[in-house]
Amino acid sequence: MIPDIIDIRNASKHYDTDSGFVHALGETTARIGEGAFVSIVGPSGCGKTTLLKMIGGLIPASNGEILIRGTPVTSPRADVGFVFQNSVLLPWKTTRENVLLPIVVRKKLSAQDIDRADELLDLVGLGSFGDRYPHELSGGMQQRASICRALIQDPACLLMDEPFGALDSLTRENMNVFFNGLWLSTGKTVVMVTHSIQEAVFMSTRVIVMSERPGRIVDDVAIPFEAQRSPDIMGSAAFGATAARIRHYFTKANLD
């Protein structure tokens, strides 16, 4: 049995705002095994990103708890990496320096840290761009650099919030294929929030489907493909049927 790395136990989130009480995320329970790639999809405002931030310790749960490798999440952790929709690279730092930022804020850099950054840049095809600045990189290259930054501390899991949403459609598809290979080569546990059902089905081993706010899990879909993916599967009947099962929850009739 694959051990659980993330254990979400009846976690929920609400806010008291100037405009009143906001129930952002309903009670949510899920377990995610080591090496899994899980996507979370749902209507806008259903609490997908809220759940991701709770897993990463960026915001606390109002009720319930979340554990990573058996330890309750109470604050941001060094063993959790984040990738956001925008690469948020510092424009005055080189690609290598951006990748090394999480190390710099925690301790003095070592030669091993710099070697690790260069190894990661090689892994994502940016080995010759370590001394370049963000404005010299394409959007896809910037996002690959941000993925390296998230991996520099060898995290237990990688949390990604719409990581390819700012890219054009062709670059996004290429990044989906690229990241599938990167996930296979690193063996990391990945949790990704996306609005794209096609992206979720193509990249994931499981897709968690959430309802409208306050979001609750309404389906947990196992993806019926081998781990290594090719764009060819998008034209298969199995791919279409899996996407249709997820899309069913977001038709107007089912949202009313």
How does pLDDT run across 184-233, given as a tens digit for each residue?
999 999 999 999 999 999 999 999 999 999 999 999 999 999 999 999 99
Q: Is 250 inside a domain boundary?
A: yes
Q: Is 198 inside a domain boundary?
A: yes
> Domain containing 241 — which CATH number?
3.40.50.300
Nearest-CA neighbor of 226 among 244, 203, 194?
Answer: 203
Q: Is 92 inside a domain boundary?
A: no
Q: Is 60 inside a domain boundary?
A: yes
| Domain around 231 | 1-79+157-164+188-256
What's the confidence (pLDDT) of residue 166?
Answer: 83
What's the confidence (pLDDT) of residue 200?
Answer: 97
69 contacts 7 by C-beta, under 8 angstroms? no
Domain count within the chain: 1
What's the confidence (pLDDT) of residue 212?
Answer: 92
Q: Is 141 inside a domain boundary?
A: no
Q: Is 232 inside a domain boundary?
A: yes
Can you point out the beta strands (E) in the chain? 4-17, 20-33, 37-41, 63-68, 71-72, 80-83, 157-161, 189-193, 206-210, 217-222
What's the confidence (pLDDT) of residue 2?
Answer: 58
Per-residue pLDDT tens over the stretch 130-187: 999 999 999 999 999 999 999 999 998 999 999 988 888 888 898 899 999 999 999 9
Per-residue pLDDT tens over the stretch 42-73: 999 899 999 999 999 999 999 999 999 999 99
Q: Is 219 inside a domain boundary?
A: yes
Sheet architecture: strand order including 63-68: 20-33, 4-17, 63-68, 71-72
Q: Is 212 inside a domain boundary?
A: yes
